[in-house]
Copies of this chain bind each other. A is one copy, B any other.
Amino acid sequence: MISFLNDYSEGAHERILDKLVKTNAEQTIGYGEDCHTEKAVAYIRKALRCPDAGVFFVVGGTQANLIFISHVLKPYQAAISVDTGHINTHETGAIEATGHKVYAVPSADGKVTPRQVEEVLAFHHGDEHMVDPRMVYISNPTELGTIYSKKELSALYDLCKKHDLLLYIDGARLASALTSVQNDISLADYPKLCDAVCIGATKCGALFGEALVVMDPVYSQKMRFSIKQKGALLAKGRLLGIQYEGLFEDDLYLRLGEHSNCMAAKLKRGIQKAGYSFLTDSYTNQQFPILSDAVLAKLSENYLFSVWGKAGEDKSVIRLVTSWMTKDADVDSFLRDLQNI
């Protein structure tokens, strides 16, 4: 079986793995106070051109989300998210478990618009019988594979600043956004466009790892207390440092993101050529073609993918995900089989 199920089906890029092997016998201080972590922090601050940024490595994305959100919100404050947002539907109520409401707004393309935020604020209008919306949570790319343009993100962040809202970007697949052919936002732009971003590595070359980057030191303060309390302060913290060192000492992170995008683009072209349409127009590593259930039954004999939902009586949207490690041959094989059905 060839898997397009997700982008965490394999281990780590060989450079990462090599580094882990080579450093294995080193004795280091625990909990991320080692020299590898220090270096990785420096690389990321440099990439973002934000020397004051708080950079915190944790193992998983749900951890990053729940730690940042619960760290900065007051008990009665809430985060706004699209209905398909990861914190709204795929983290088992992790944010609510820390006491905060996720206020969901509908979205066809996975993005929050400034207008929606304004409507949410108008609806709540400072009424103490309702939660106090204080954060906008977005993903880039979104769960639907789309990305924000610089103009869109700027408009959203301007509105956030106007209303004293925090803008937090979940970048579980940020490598794919950064290297999308549509993208016009560089890593160095992020500090001007949001309050915090999570730069994911689990889905881009590492065994695991998410870098929570907080621009203003005010919101970084005592973050390690929250990280420890939520069970996310890794004893051998260097494992995170070493992996991010490997990804950011040159442009490996971006190259891997680019590879996954190329593989996805090839899938997209092939599927379009075969006459199928898509749920969204994605230029990142997730593609959502709409295929007939008969075709899907056939494909599922040799390929793993997830069914996203129904699209009429005998059609379904599926999700195909490529990764930093997806093989050209596997894409070819998929397209060939699709054509032959």
Contacts and interface: CB of A to CB of B under 8 A. Distances in A.
A222 interface: yes
B25 A10 contact: yes
Contacts of A71: 74-75
What number of copies of this chain does the assembly contain? Answer: 4
A91 B225 CA distance: 9
A130 B62 CA distance: 12
Interface residues of A, number: 75
Chain A residues touching B, majority SS: loop
A27 B4 CA distance: 10
Interface stretch (A174-182, A233-241, A268-276): A233-241
Contacts of A234: 59-60, 208
Interface in A45-98: 59-63, 65-67, 70-71, 74-76, 78, 89-94, 96-98
Interface string A117-155: 000000000001111100000000000000000000000
Interface of A: 1-3, 5-6, 8-12, 14, 17, 20-21, 23-30, 59-63, 65-67, 70-71, 74-76, 78, 89-94, 96-102, 104, 128-132, 202-203, 207-208, 222, 224-236, 239, 325
